[in-house]
Amino acid sequence: MPSSGIQSARYSRQTRFAGLGQTGQERLAKARVAIVGLGATGSTIAHGLLRAGIGYLRLIDRDWVETHNLPRQSFYTEADAEQLQPKVVAAKAHAQQINSACAIDALVLDLHAGTIDQALAGVDLVLDGTDSLETRLLINEWCVREQVPWIYSGVLGGHGMTANFRPQQACWRCIFATSPEPGSMPTCETAGVVGPVVGVIGNLAATEALKLLSGQGQANPDLFMLDLWAWQFEHVPMPAPRPDCPVCGLRHFDLLDHASEPTISLCGRNAIQIRPQQPTTIGLARLAQHLYQADLRVVQTDYLLRFAADSLQATVFPDGRVIVSGTDDPAVARGFYNRWINH
């Protein structure tokens, strides 16, 4: 662990900045932050907070590094993709090389109603790096219920948005009163994304996090939107909390109070995720042996197992979660799952 003198010199340029100062830096060193989603915006946010001296980061993501992530997801390398590294595992390894004084927990985890309490417990701030609207709505409900601030970030194509949501102020549902049907909106998988836009939005969110966690400076009170490709920027004033808001007004936590669907389509990925209805574990070595006996080619790491059969590909995690790629039909994915995995 670096000595306090070395740490003081490390952050000297930040502490000389009047907007932060030594007091703000000391608060950052004690701050506990969770980042949900370590893709493009999430990895940019994590990078910024690590270098700024955040004391604790909890990294939460359900996916692994793929080659098509590399143009915009700043933490990862070609080696991470070749080794099928879970994003949070790769991110933690790189993060420890950036700032060894930061305590880091890496959770290979699908965030849902059954996992969110444990996943987010004890943090001062939640940062949204997810590309899932359902997960974002779940984060909003949890943060309203637990009175924890969170920062929203979203990027699509050349567009980006970010906003701060704090206790006793308007929540996500106050602004976005209605939500589109799952799968009805474009995603980065379907509409693409320009890497530098991710950097702008992620660093804006990281800056807002530094203000909130240090208690220094005035946090942005608006919803900030940009079209970086067209060089257009807009601030939309946040409304007052709505008394009829189903979440912060009426205190209805529908997503938190009900079990999520065990089988969901991953929008734009031609893939279905199957989650066990009861907590379970899958012995990857035992499953691999079963698949070898069926003359299937298996790739196994410490964190996942992958194989292909019947023109589909499955990625299996130790917690029982499976992603079946090559179909958007839940019935087909479930049949594949029952044939090869749930035996």
Which of 102, 174, 188, 267 is labelled catalytic?
188
How far apart, in whole angstroms, are the C-alpha atoms of residue 38 and residue 34?
A: 11
Question: What are the residues whose beta carbons fall under 8 Å from the beta carbon of 34, sequence distance 6 or more?
Answer: 57, 58, 60, 119, 120, 123, 125, 126, 127
Could you identify the residue written with the tokens 């009170």?
Answer: 221
How far apart, in whole angstroms, are the C-alpha atoms of residue 209 and residue 150?
A: 9
How far apart, in whole angstroms, are the C-alpha atoms of residue 48 and residue 54?
A: 9
Distances from the Cα of 243 to the Cα of 146, 168, 249, 253, angstroms:
18, 12, 5, 15
Active site (annotated) includes residue 102: no
Adjacent-strand bridge partners of 152: 163
Distances from the Cα of 186 to the Cα of 131, 183, 189, 212, 272, angstroms:
11, 8, 8, 31, 17
How far apart, in whole angstroms, are the C-alpha atoms of residue 278 and residue 259?
A: 11
SS (H, E, C) 180-217: CCCCCCCCHHHHCECHHHHHHHHHHHHHHHHHHHHCCC
Return the number of other C-beta atoms located less than 10 Å from residue 44's C-beta.
Answer: 28
How far apart, in whole angstroms, are the C-alpha atoms of residue 262 and residue 274?
A: 6
How far apart, in whole angstroms, are the C-alpha atoms of residue 215 and residue 213?
A: 6
Instruction: State whether residue 90 is helix, strand or coil.
Output: helix
H-helix or E-strand spanning residue 334 = helix 330-340
Burial label for 193, CB within 10 Å (0-12, 13-18, 19+), is: buried
Q: Which residues are the active-site residues?
A: 188
